[in-house]
Amino acid sequence: MRLAEDRGDHLEVFQRIRSQYRTLSPSFQKLADYLLERHRDAAFLPAARVAANVGVSESVVIRFAGALGYSGYPELLRAIQKIVKNELAPFRRLEGDQAVRGTAGRSDDVLRQTITSDIENLQVTASDPVTVASFPRAVDLLARAEDVYALGLRGLGSLAVLLGFLLTTSGTRSHVLTHGDAALFEQLRYIGRRDVLVAFSFERYTKRTVDAMELARRRGARTLVIADSLASPAAQVATVSLVCGVRAASFFNSYTAAVAIINALMTAAVNRRLKESRRALETLDGLLPDEEFFGRSNGQ
């Protein structure tokens, strides 16, 4: 699959930087921060311009590429350019996809292509090396958390609401955060060492998400990010990151794989806390008034 191959480019560059970050010199760390945060800007700049932007010498930029295992700055630059190409691919595909141009494609073709794309996102997510390796730790965070704060800003609020609902139903106290105004930080002032902040971070990335995660980290809480790439600024500061496919034959992302990750996390976390979850469901059933719900029709 082309998407799986492109995702490997993300892992190659950003994982090299992250795995070596703590051992890098201060000058190299400044370069690393710049490339992680401004890789789209850096992708088409010569070494001298990058050096000027960061405030280091051109020779430092060249040595930095070698420290990451590249033959030189041009090879590092090509790797970063592949990342940018991958991130912009949905917009190029939109221009060439007849199925999403007004009435150019039949509706059944759009349905088939959309579902096929979602299946590919699910397959890529299920085999993503970062997600596979990090999933057990993500489950452990949720299973041990006293309170979970689910953060989804802009169009990601529905994902945070879904996670919050499932957590509350299964017996974990949850707080859903969907607005990036002052109320976000008012709610986060109560987060502590026994809590977890789960954030959703998909392009276009919001600075408020990173601000919230840094606040949670300062207060001792662990953070879990579900993102479309390790290039996500939120993934750079998270305790644990899970990566999922979001590509779609349109101008907006598909969150089918993100919902699948939520389902998988909740299934595994509930299995870890089966007695507590069962007790919470029984308590909830006893509290809910029967007349507010429709039962089975029994054939009527």
Residues 167 and 282 in one domain: yes
- Tell me, what CATH number does 60's domain have? 1.10.10.10
Query: Would you say residue 110 lies in a domain?
Result: no
Query: Among residues 48, 80, 96, which one ends one of the domains?
Result: 96
Q: What is the mean pLDDT of residues 98-117?
A: 66
The residue among 43 and 88 whose pLDDT is bigger is 43
Q: What is the pLDDT of residue 89?
A: 54
Q: What is the pLDDT of residue 17?
A: 85
Q: What is the mean pLDDT of residues 113-140?
A: 91
Q: What is the mean pLDDT of residues 214-240?
A: 91
Residues 143 and 281 in one domain: yes
* Span of 39-48, 163-172, 236-245 with lowest mean pLDDT: 39-48
Q: What is the mean pLDDT of residues 163-176?
A: 92
What is the rounded distance in angstroms from the CA atom of residue 283 to the CA atom of residue 209?
34
Q: What is the mean pLDDT of residues 108-129?
A: 88
Domains identified in the chain, total number: 2
Round the average pLDDT of the chain to a whole number and report it: 83
Residue 231's nearest CA partner among 61, 58, 6, 65 is 6
Which residue do the tokens 């939109």 mark?
94
> Are residues 205 and 232 in contact, defined by beta-carbon separation less than 8 angstroms?
yes
Residue 148's nearest CA partner among 63, 288, 266, 21 is 266
Q: Is pTM, for the whole model, over 0.75?
A: no
Query: Would you say residue 133 lies in a domain?
Result: yes
Q: What is the mean pLDDT of residues 111-139?
A: 90
Each residue of 260-279: pLDDT tens digit? 999 999 999 999 888 887 77
Q: What is the pLDDT of residue 201?
A: 94
Residues 157 and 73 in one domain: no
End-to-end C-alpha distance for the chain, whole angstroms: 49
Residues 168 and 281 in one domain: yes
The most confident of 94-103, 205-214, 255-264, by mean pLDDT? 255-264
Residues 147 and 90 in one domain: no
Residues 89 and 131 in one domain: no
- Tell me, what CATH number does 149's domain have? 3.40.50.10490
Residues 211 and 260 in one domain: yes
Q: What is the pLDDT of residue 297?
A: 55
Query: Would you say residue 299 lies in a domain?
Result: no
Within 97-206, residue ranges assigned H as helices are 107-127, 129-144, 157-169, 182-188
Query: Would you say residue 295 lies in a domain?
Result: no
**Domain region containing 177:** 127-287
Residues 132 and 89 in one domain: no
Query: Among residues 47, 79, 96, which one ends one of the domains?
Result: 96
174 phi and psi angles, rounded to 5 deg: -130, 155
226: helix, strand or coil: strand
Q: What is the pLDDT of residue 288?
A: 67
Query: Among residues 46, 77, 96, which one ends one of the domains?
Result: 96
Give the DSSP letter of residue 68.
Answer: T
Judged against a pLDDT cut of 70, whether residue 39 lies above it is answered with: yes
CA distances from 72 to 18, 36, 205 (A): 19, 18, 30
Give the DSSP letter of residue 69.
Answer: T
Residues 281 and 139 in one domain: yes
Residues 184 and 233 in one domain: yes
Query: Would you say residue 298 lies in a domain?
Result: no
Residues 131 and 280 in one domain: yes
Query: Would you say residue 121 lies in a domain?
Result: no
Residue 71, token pair as written in the block: 């033959």
Query: Would you say residue 262 lies in a domain?
Result: yes
Query: Would you say residue 117 lies in a domain?
Result: no
Q: Is the dihedral of CA 7, 12, 18, 19 positive or negative?
A: positive
Residues 155 and 246 in one domain: yes
